[in-house]
Each structure stands twice: as C-alpha cells, then as structure tokens.
Structure 1
C-alpha cells in the first residue's frame, strides 16, 4: 500500500515540472527594441516623409511624373540617410559596449565563469551592418506605398486622395505590428502614427501651397 501511495508523487512532480517549463521561457522584449526601432520607425519615416514630399509637389504640380520622380528621389535619399545614420549610431553603441567589456575583463578575471559571461555578452552585441540594412529596407518598404498609390492615377485630385488613404492604411498596419510585437497598447500606437502622418502631410501641402501662391513660381 505504501508503494502504491507513493507512485503518484513523482508523476505529480513531473507534471508540475512540465507545466513550469513553458512558463520559464519568456520572450525578451528588450532585445527586440533595437530591431523594432529600426524597422518600425524606418517604415513610418518612409511612409510619412515620402508621402509628405509628394503631397508638397502635388500642391503646386498636377503632373504625375513630377510627383513620382520627387517621391523616388526621396526614397533613394532617405534610405541612404537612414542606413548611414543607423550605422553610425549603432557603431557608436558597439564601441561603448566593447570598451565596457574590456574594463570588466580586467577587473573580474574569474576563470571559466568570466569566459562564459564574455561569450554571452559578445553574442548580445549590436550589429551596425544589420541595423543599417534593416533601417534602409524598412524605409524603402514604407516609401513604396505612396509611390505605387500615385503612379497610375492621372486625375490630380483623385491621386492626392488615394495617396492619403493608402498611407493612412499603411500607418495603421505598421502601428498594429509594432504594438503587437512590442506588447504596447494598439489603439494608442496607431493613433500616434496616424495623426502624426496626417499632420506632416497637411503641413507640407499647406506650406508649399502658401510659398507658391506668394510669388515663387515653379
């Protein structure tokens, strides 16, 4: 009887261990921050900046070719700028972390434990090339949306409306993706990027229209 009573004990312990194992594996959202920042901000920047640029050109030019060329030039320039800026920023962070690792190695010198921790730290070091590539690709991906929305529409007013609608939808999608991956409020995230995008396009359109009407012919 004693043996029969003791049989469920290890089974219960095994079940508890199995139940606890998935709980111990938690996603490290802090490590996602760098990629989210480069990807989400890059895509939003591509959307808003290129759409605003095209809206500014559309305020004074009805030619679809002028809008498309301005948007394409902005895409190339913006992607290069984002890549270079991200590379310099992350490389500076890398230099700081490597210098700190060297200082820690001189102070600690704890044999195998320090070697293991050193390997983990090196694996977690930021990669400036990956960050630059991700930022450039994200910017380009976002910038393609207003370009494709305006490329095949001849009517000027309809073209502007389509660009605004396409960019608004893309901003909401990127806002949702960033909020879900980062575990942040979806509504607030979408509202921020959407309102910010509308304001940028409206200000660029209005100021360009104002400057053109003041006597600067294009």
Structure 2
C-alpha cells in the first residue's frame, strides 16, 4: 500500500512544478516582459551599399575587360593594355562613386523631406535620420568594389605574356 502513495506524491509534486506561478512582484513581472521583447534589425539601411558594391564589382569586371580587349586588339604591347586598364580602373571607380553618391543622396533627401513632414519632435527626427541610407557609404562601397572587379582582368594583362592568351583571358 505504501508504494502507490509514494507514486501519487511524486506525480502531484511534478504537477505543481509544471504550472507557472503568477507574478506577485511588479518588478519581476516587468523583467519577464522585457525578456520576451524580440529585437528586430532593419536590414534596409544595408541594402544601398550592398547593391552599390555588387553593381560596382560587376561593372568593374566587365568594363575593364572590354577596355583591355579593345586596346589589345589594336596593339600587341602588354604595357599599353596595362596602362589602359589602370586608366579604366581609376576613371570607372570615380564615375561609379559619383553616380552612387548622387543616386543615394537623392533618395536620402526625398526620405528626409518625408520624415520632416511626418515627425513632430526633433529628437524623433534625429532617431529616424539614423536609419536612412548613407550616400557616402554607398559611394565608397561602389568605388572599392569597382576597383576589385577591375583588378581581375588587369592581373591577366600583367601576368600572361603570350598575346593570344592574354586577349583570350
């Protein structure tokens, strides 16, 4: 007879620990509510410079390759191909940076004007301004990515000595 009573006591104590106890202390309740808050990160701010970097790398690779191939079709001299590739890298990186800066700044200006219309307090406006895309960050990302993309065909022009292989590469 004693064995079944022990079993019931174990089950009843198990049931007591399963049920959550209501919060009696206001501070504990507040701490519990804070633990349940989910932090949401806004990735849209990152999208502008990431897009600029992807397009910059693609454009650097394609435009520098095209430029080197065109110059290589006219002259077989590797120095001419390398020099034109370097000029294309510098000119293209500057062009991409300026273009991205103007593009993202116009978006920034439009969004800022809209925020000024919707926001009533200066502190709220400053907080929302931090979430807007950065034109300078997009310009730097685009110029850097263009340069990285343009270096790839330049390596081919520098290290491949055979004319046909260099133009083919």
> TM-score scaled by structure 1?
0.59
Post-superposition offset of 1:64: 0.6
Structural RMSD (CA): 2.5
Q: Corresponding residue for 1:102?
A: 116
SS in 2 for 1:154: coil
List alignment gaps of at least 5 residues for structure 2: 1-8, 21-31
Q: Taking structure 1 as reference, are residues 115 and 3 closer, same or farther at Cα in structure 2, changes over 3 Å only?
A: farther
Post-superposition offset of 1:26: 6.6
Structure 2 residue 168 is matched with structure 1 residue 161: yes
> In 1, distance between residues paired with 2:14 and 2:73?
85
Contact 2:116 2:125 in 1 (8 A): no
Deviations, residues 54-83 of structure 1 (Å, cap 9, x unaligned): 111111211111111111100000001011
> TM-score scaled by structure 2?
0.75
Structure 1 segments of 4+ aligned residues over 4 angstroms from their partners:
24-29, 114-117
In structure 2, which of residues 42, 57, 76 is the aligned counterpart of residue 43 of structure 1?
Answer: 57
Contact 2:46 2:133 in 1 (8 A): no
Q: Corresponding residue for 2:157?
A: 150
Q: Taking structure 1 as reference, are residues 157 and 43 closer, same or farther at Cα in structure 2, changes over 3 Å only?
A: same
Q: Corresponding residue for 1:130?
A: 137
In structure 1, which of residues 141, 147, 170 is the aligned counterpart of residue 148 of structure 2?
Answer: 141
List alignment gaps of at least 5 residues for structure 1: 11-16, 163-218
> In 1, distance between residues paired with 2:153 and 2:106?
33
> In 2, distance between residues paired with 1:126 and 1:30?
8
The structure where helix makes up a greater share of residues is 1
Q: Corresponding residue for 2:16?
A: 6
Please say which structure displays the higher CA radius of gyration: 2
